[in-house]
Amino acid sequence: MSNPTDVVVVGAGPAGLAAAATLGRHGARVTVVDEQQRPGGQIYRQPPTGHTRTGRRTEAGRALLAEAAAAPHLDWLPDTVAWGVFGTRAGLDDYAGPAPAPGRLRLGVHTPDGGRTLEPAALVLTAGAYDLPVPFPGWTLPGVLTAGGVQTFLKAQGLLPGRRFVLAGGHPLLLVVAAQLVAAGAHVVEVAFSQHLRTLLPGPRDLAAAVGNAAKLAEGAAALRHLRRARVPVRFGTVIRAAHGDPELDGVVLSRVDAAGLPVPGTERTVACDVLALGYGFVPSTELARQAGCAVAWRPAEGGWIVDHDDWMRTSVPGISVAGELTGVAGAEQAEVEGRLAAYGTLQTLGLLDADRAAALARPVRRILARRRRFAAAVLSRFAPDPAALNALVTDDTVLCRCEEVTAGDIRRALCDHPHLGTANAVKLLTRAGMGLCQGRSCQPAVCRLIAEQTGRSPEQIGAFTAQPPVKPVPLASLAAAARQHDDQG
Amino acid sequence: MAHYDTAVIGGGLLGCAIAWHLARAGTRVLIVEKDQVNRHASGQNAGSLHFQLEFRMVEHGDDAARLAARALPLHLDAQRTWAGLEAALGAPCGVALRGGLMLAETPAEVAALDRKAALEREYGLDVQVLGGPQLRELAPYLADTVRAAGHLPGEGKANPRLVTPAFAHAALRHGAELRTGHRVTALHRDGGRWRLSTGDGRSDTADTVVLAAGVWTAELAAMADVRLPVFPVGLTMSATARTAPLLPHLIQHVGRRLSMKQTAEGNVLLGGGWPAKLVTRHGRTDLDRNPELRYESLTGNADAARVVPAVMRLPIIRSWSGMTTLTPDQLPLLGPVPRRPGLHVATGGSAFTLGPTYARLLASTLLGDRPDLPLDDYSPARFGALNFV
Amino acid sequence: MSDTATPARPTRTGLHRPDPTTIMVDGEPVTAHPGESLATALLAAGRRTTGETTSGAGKAPYCNMGVCFECVVTVDGQPFQRSCLIRVRPGLIVQTGPAR
């Protein structure tokens, strides 16, 4: 199959847009694959086609979106799932069907028109991150959403998904979302922040790291001021314990936590609400990179498993680079910078940029990146949730795997009955946790924390669920049609 | 260091099942597994209980089919064994024997089906070739392209997630010892016993050793200076999202690689012999890495599923690769290894479907009983020419 | 606590939208705006529950970004479609309830 694409960029958030625009500007033919209709990713999500904002508001990421829209040699595949990378481990031959040309990767995609393959010389994976799912009794009730989900309803869809909101968790995004909800006229009943305020106040080292990153800190501080002014209670050292309602959410139980982050008995109180937004931070979307065979590392402060890379964002698999949250959760600005760096690295691989010129172009980018990384290490890492505190929210009856309805008790019992088991994959096979439609995205962190607590094994020993193709569900008919396509050509 | 009556190498279905039989009989048994129990072929296969001959056994002509048919006495036994397994183990294994259909879509395939059924009936397997209204009534979900099907009422499925852990659990209950995460690095005779060493420097002895290590059998045998001809093959399996019951039977195809069944939870599992590529490193097969999934196998397997049109709208939610162990004649490799007193092997053939039967027969040999089926056709002795001592 | 008596009806805000159209949800007409997500349309129509687990518990949008698959519905006969990613277009036929 002749294919005019040099590089496929998977993801159209800040990292993907920056990579694609930079690649296109330097003469690479680029295809951008994204699951959404319009570029921007979660952070720069634009309203649907035909919708416009009522207020005069500057769209976040406008400059980057404009840069990508104007860049030459860019082909967009929206509404498309990139579901598998083939030929990266063993190197495939053509005995079983047409093999990719030498030096090319094969990427399976599912578009609105069906299944096909792309065969680029390089891939830049920028799949971003998603809200860390944090199980507790009642978290599966309709009305319980992630903070990111509530924000997307509000900012991209213009929907207040309820009337009375409680926000709970441990990530600064909570404050930002709460302020946005208040500005949109919602009743925010309470913001419950799991950390104690004193642990969040910046120290001298953090302030040094914040140089050049003031905007980010200011955003959180401004949100807090708005909430105070609107008399929204923001309570620190307070956690969600349970969500109630039948059949849908009508209230939550909050309680105080001690210095170790563990709930203090007797401090429980019930708060009525119809939406609970949870914000505990983010998990990098490493599935496609892991499925392709890219080496990963365990970095709890950066979101869990992240993809290993070199100075040019190249992974352990030749031809595959990464940028953005899957190298460690650090926000849009860092993602954008990493996207440019990944582009410069890929351009060298393609022979479109010589080493000296690439180094020169990368220099200012690297300076910004160093600053961002200092900030991320010093400030963002203090919001990383504590595994023991998260485990304390889980009761035996708490569902961990929503798709297959596997409870924490089911997993504890399985580990007791089979004491020789202790990996994420083994527990998945035994209990079905992670075997559902979401492919383990919603339960993996909690399942692995529970295995660690129960067996004393390290996260590295426990591992992650193996990332299997298709990394997002793809209709059987789409795969079958792809088989006939190849037959026709063969 | 400890001494055992039997050391079983391999914590898969065969190893755990053999250990269960031996521990139940009051002998001292150790299972050594280099990874986790049920980590490899036993837990990765799609759980078919296919007592008819498989496509891979009939695709190479009548002579090859006739040779493969020598395992049919085991098929007959396995059908009975699976039916009583959950009661015997006191644990759910997801056994459901609601019948299997092997499909034919072309006149040539129908003819192949007839020849296969005649061969199977010679061995007493009650396979009927159905067509027309009779087939539509039994399986209204089949595509119009299906002309006939070999029907065997006792075929079905078991749940590979549950079977091996259930055997392991039962074996432990009867006093077997299980050591996971330990790889055997040396195996040799020492003072009339077998000595096996594991990577951590530990060393134990046993009167008898059973190699139940699937694709790793050859390298373990080599430690005992024996060549056993077993070959790894990479395979592809896929699962759809859960859906309402639509497929009560095990589906296979006489002219294509296909197995299809619906689990108790509602997922439709696809497999049937689509290849995955073994990973090579430094020019040698690396058995410690999962075979690489092929795009062509995923899409080809999906295409083969068209014989049940209702599944085509379902999403595939995961595919995985695994390895199975083949012998040159596709028959099991089961029994004592010649000139290696006390060394036994169990692998090859349809080792999931026939696993409980292999285990029972080999255990009775080890316990000094006479197996109730002749095992000569499966003996490692048939490959004796590969060994000079 | 008079507030708690307020019906929990999500409201649209902040966007100029195309003229509404009609989609069919479980056999009933629902008004929605072309281009908005089906999840938005369902919530705005007062349907807080969009699916059912195997054990019969209600399911609804959770991540709202295509990751959790909690909000899947059947759209024009195609099951397991994420309502947060599906865009409203005139005449869409949607079935909520247990995934089949």
Averaged pLDDT for residues A9-35? 97
State how far residue B243 is from chain C, nearest Cα, in angstroms. Answer: 5
- Does the distance separating the beta carbons of A140 and C15 come in below 8 Å? no
State how far residue A100 is from chain B, nearest Cα, in angstroms. Answer: 11
What residue spans define the domains of chain B?
3-42+161-229+329-386, 65-70+95-155+231-326
State the ipTM, two decimals: 0.94
Q: What is the pLDDT of residues A70-93, one digit of tens each?
A: 999 999 999 999 999 998 765 656
Cβ-nearest to A405 among C13, C14, C55: C55
Cβ-nearest to B313 among A88, A96, A477: A477
- Does the distance separating the beta carbons of B313 and C79 come in below 8 Å? yes
Instruction: Please enumerate in sequence order all residues whose Cβ is within 8 A of that of A14, keeping only pairs 6 or more positions apart, or say none.
Output: A41, A43, A44, A61, A64, A324, A332, A333, A335, A336, A339
Three-state SS sequence of A49-99: CCCEECCCCCCCCHHHHHHHHHCCCEEEECCCEEEEEECCCCCCCCCCCCC
Domain closes at, from A279, A312, A330: A279
- Does the distance separating the beta carbons of A442 and C18 come in below 8 Å? no
Of the CA atoms within 13 Å of residue B373, those in its CB half-sphere come to 22
Residue A483 included in any domain: no
For residue A318, give the CATH number of its domain: 3.50.50.60
Averaged pLDDT for residues C60-75? 97
B38 touches chain A (CB under 8 A): yes
C100 touches chain B (CB under 8 A): yes
Q: What is the pLDDT of residues B28-82, one digit of tens each?
A: 999 999 999 999 999 999 999 999 999 988 899 989 999 999 999 999 999 999 9
- Does the distance separating the beta carbons of A53 and C69 come in below 8 Å? no
Averaged pLDDT for residues B342-361? 97
What pLDDT is attached to residue A104? 87
Q: What is the pLDDT of residues A381-401, one digit of tens each?
A: 778 889 999 999 999 999 999
Cβ-nearest to A90 among B292, B297, B316: B292
Residue A107 included in any domain: yes
B245 touches chain C (CB under 8 A): no
Token pair recorded at residue C61: 């949008």
- CATH number among 3.30.470.20, 3.30.70.100, 3.50.50.60, 3.40.190.10, domain B3-42+161-229+329-386: 3.50.50.60
pLDDT tier, A103 (very low <50, low <70, confident <90, very high otherwise): confident
Assess whether A33 and A51 both reside in one domain. Answer: yes
Assess whether A208 and A124 both reside in one domain. Answer: no
Angle at C41 between CA C37 and CA C43, to 5 degrees: 115
Cβ-nearest to A483 among B180, B293, B303: B303
Assess whether A328 and A361 both reside in one domain. Answer: yes
Residues of C whose CB is below 8 A from B240: none
Q: What is the pLDDT of residues B355-375, one digit of tens each?
A: 999 999 999 999 999 999 999
- Does the distance separating the beta carbons of A154 and C63 come in below 8 Å? no
In order, the DSSP letters of B219-280 are HHHHHTT-----EEEEEEEEEEEE-SS---SEEEESSS--EEEE-TTSEEEEESS-EEBPPE
Phi-psi bin for B173: left (phi > 0), alpha (psi -120 to 50), beta? alpha
Which domains does chain C show, CATH number per domain?
A: 33-100 (3.10.20)
pLDDT tier, A220 (very low <50, low <70, confident <90, very high otherwise): confident
Contact (Cβ atoms closer than 8 angstroms) between residue B260 and residue B269? yes
Quote the domain boundaries for residue A452.
Answer: 387-457
Q: What is the pLDDT of residues B309-334, one digit of tens each?
A: 999 999 999 999 999 999 999 999 99
d(CA A288, CA A85): 7
Q: What is the pLDDT of residues B290-313, one digit of tens each?
A: 999 999 999 999 999 999 999 999
Assess whether A327 and A235 both reside in one domain. Answer: no
Residue A475 included in any domain: no
pLDDT tier, A485 (very low <50, low <70, confident <90, very high otherwise): confident
C5 touches chain A (CB under 8 A): no
Neighbours of chain A (3+ CB pairs under 8 A): B, C
pLDDT tier, A467 (very low <50, low <70, confident <90, very high otherwise): very high
* Average pLDDT score, chain B: 95
Dihedral (CA of C45, C11, A166, A59) sign: positive
pLDDT tier, C22 (very low <50, low <70, confident <90, very high otherwise): very high
Residues of C whose CB is below 8 A from A144: 62
Assess whether A271 and A146 both reside in one domain. Answer: yes
State how far residue B372 is from chain A, nearest Cα, in angstroms. Answer: 33
CB atoms within 10 A of CB B28: 17
Amino acid identity of residue B148, one-letter, is A
For residue A438, give the CATH number of its domain: 1.10.10.1100
Q: Which of B243, B247, B268, B317 to mutate to test the interface with C (most CBs of C within 10 A)?
A: B243
Q: Is the pLDDT of residue A2 over 50?
A: no
Calculate what percentage of chain A has a pLDDT beyond 70. 92
What pLDDT is attached to residue C1? 40
Q: How many domains would you assign to chain A? A: 3
- Does the distance separating the beta carbons of A272 and C4 come in below 8 Å? yes
Assess whether A329 and A430 both reside in one domain. Answer: no
- Does the distance separating the beta carbons of A92 and B241 come in below 8 Å? no
B315 touches chain C (CB under 8 A): yes
Residue A285's nearest CA partner among C68, B331, B353, B378 is C68
pLDDT tier, B389 (very low <50, low <70, confident <90, very high otherwise): confident
- Start-end of H helices in chain B: 13-24, 41-44, 55-58, 62-68, 72-89, 107-122, 132-138, 160-173, 217-223, 295-304, 355-366
To which residue do tokens 């379902």 refer?
Answer: B314
C34 touches chain A (CB under 8 A): yes
What pLDDT is attached to residue C98? 76
CA–chain centroid gap for B213, Å, is 12
* Average pLDDT score, chain A: 91
Dihedral (CA of A321, A323, A329, A330) sign: positive
- Does the distance separating the beta carbons of A426 and B36 come in below 8 Å? yes
Cβ-nearest to B318 among A468, A477, A482: A468
pLDDT: which is higher, A371 or A266: A266
Assess whether A107 and A166 both reside in one domain. Answer: no
- Domain over B65-70+95-155+231-326 is classified CATH 3.30.9.10: yes
Assess whether A21 and A108 both reside in one domain. Answer: yes
Assess whether A174 and A248 both reside in one domain. Answer: yes
Q: Is the pTM of this model over 0.90?
A: yes
Residues of A whose CB is below 8 A from C16: 51-54
What pLDDT is attached to residue A1? 42
Strand partners, A9: A32, A124
Q: What is the pLDDT of residues B154-213, one digit of tens each?
A: 999 999 999 999 999 999 999 999 999 999 999 999 999 999 999 888 999 999 999 999
Residues of B whose CB is below 8 A from C78: 313
A149-163, A412-426, B216-230, C13-27 — which is least confidently predicted? A412-426
Calculate what percentage of chain A has a pLDDT beyond 90. 77
